[in-house]
Each structure stands twice: as structure tokens, then as C-alpha cells.
Amino acid sequence: MEIENDRNLNAPELHWISLEKVMDLLIEKYGFEELSKLIRINCFKSYPSKESSLKFLRKTQWARLQVQGLYVRAIRENKKKEKQDLQNIN
């Protein structure tokens, strides 16, 4: 899966949110097994932990951009779903 990194760099969803909070949401939503399929990073696959992932992502820009892109997409999908749910109620 290719995540559009350049457009997500200045995404409002990333303003004022730490990388740790990004990881918390992604781990809760997808879990490490699904994350390792969505983004091919060894720290998601081999002995995964939030701490080791954060350490790697803070050092590795390309990987961090992939994770941030997935986060932005997940937030936008949630907002779209919520909007559709509200429309269905009316």
C-alpha cells in the first residue's frame, strides 16, 4: 500500500499531536499484525512494541512519514464514517 506522504506533511490532523499518540491510535485500531501488513517495517513484525517502534520511527523519516500518512487516512475515514452515520439518522 502506498501512502501519500507529501500531502500529509501539513495535514491539520497532525498538528499538536505527538508520535506517541499517533502510535497509540494506530495500535488500538489495527494492532501490530495488521500494521506490519499495511507498512512493512520490522519493528511492527518482529517482537513488536510501542517503545521499539517509537525509537525506530524517531530515527527514520521515511518510516515516520508512512506511519503519519496512515494516521491521517484513519482519522479522515473515521470522520467520513461519522458524517455518514449522522446523515443516516436524519
Q: Is residue 35 part of a domain?
A: yes
Which CATH number do you get for residue 71? 1.10.720.30
Q: Is residue 11 part of a domain?
A: no
* CA distance linking residue 75 with residue 72, whole number of Å: 5
Q: Is residue 69 part of a domain?
A: yes
Range of the domain at 72: 16-89
3-19 in b/e form (b: 16+ CB < 10 A) is: beeeebeeeebbeeeeb
pLDDT in tens, 50-62: 999 999 999 999 9
Provide the number of structural domains found in the chain. Answer: 1
pLDDT recorded at residue 2: 45
- Model confidence band, residue 7 (pLDDT cutoffs 50, 70, 90): low
Cβ neighbours of 40 (radius 10 Å): 12
Contact in structure between 3 and 40 (CB atoms under 8 Å): no
Tell which residue, 79, 81, 61, 64, has the closest CA to residue 23.
Answer: 64
pLDDT in tens, 11-35: 777 778 899 999 999 999 999 999 9
